[in-house]
A and B are shown apart, each in its own frame.
Chain A
Amino acid sequence: GEQVEQLPSILRVQEGSSASINCSYEDSASNYFPWYKQEPGENPKLIIDIRSNMERKQIQELIVLLDKKAKRFSLHITDTQPGDSAMYFCAARDPGYQNFYFGKGTSLTVIP
């Protein structure tokens, strides 16, 4: 199946700075790339997504970029706040099988 690599696995940033998480995928047929945030003891929740017909999407402080040629996509959190501290997972969807393949996750800590 699809392989999704996610880096870094651990990220610590100062409050107010930006945080970036990078993912890469192997299957050029993948066409949908969601990002999930999971707070301790909670279920993962969708925070932003991007489809293969777009290169950039922004929702408030969240920006996702997609480079289809390089098969990479990234999440950028601008002006981080302590409430952004959580696990973040990227994923890629295989349209043929309706599967989602997840990265191994990034533990983000925003230091006040």
Chain B
Amino acid sequence: GGIITQTPKFLIGQEGQKLTLKCQQNFNHDTMYWYRQDSGKGLRLIYYSITENDLQKGDLSEGYDASREKKSSFSLTVTSAQKNEMAVFLCASSQGVSNERLFFGHGTKLSVL
């Protein structure tokens, strides 16, 4: 079996700071996703990528950048952290069209002071 590794597990930032979250998967999956999880709001899609160097915006892309440097890694950048922001960012991957099952990482918990 494979695994999705997100780093860091906890991230504390300052207001206005640029912050980068990393995700690695060894499933050899084509598609990778970044979701934001807020209490009471479920999982909202920020960015996804269907292959290396591809980027597609989700509904929540404003304020974020992403980069699919290679097939196994997908990073997310918070361009300017908002004061008192607190959320969990979940990375996920799937094989693609033929296999829709999503596998999630354990998340990065962000707190902004």
Known: A45-B104, A46-B101. A101 touches B45 (CB 8 A): yes
Q: Are B42 and A103 within 8 A (Cβ)?
A: yes
Say whether A6 faces chain B, with CB atoms less than 8 Å apart: yes
In whole angstroms, what is the CA distance A103 to B43 when docked?
Answer: 7
Q: Are A98 and B50 within 8 A (Cβ)?
A: yes
Interface residue tally of chain B, by bracket?
Answer: 20 to 34
Q: Are B43 and A97 within 8 A (Cβ)?
A: no
Chain B, residues 69-102, CB within 8 Å of chain A (1/0): the string is 0000000000000000000001000101100111
Q: Are B42 and A102 within 8 A (Cβ)?
A: yes
Chain A, residues 42-61, CB within 8 Å of chain B (1/0): the string is 11111001000000000000
**A-B interface contact total, Cβ < 8 Å:** 55
Find A89's partner among B42, B58, B97, B101 (CB 8 Å cutoff): B42
Interface centre among A1, A42, A102, by most chain B C-beta atoms within 10 angstroms, is A102
Find A102's partner among B4, B31, B43, B106 (CB 8 Å cutoff): B43
Known: A9-B40, A42-B106, A101-B45. A34 touches B59 (CB 8 A): no
**Shortest Cβ distance from residue B60 to the other chain A in the assembled complex, whole angstroms:** 10
| Residues of chain B whose beta carbon lies under 8 Å from any beta carbon of chain A | 4, 31, 33, 35, 40-45, 48, 50, 56, 58-59, 90, 94, 96-97, 100-102, 104-107
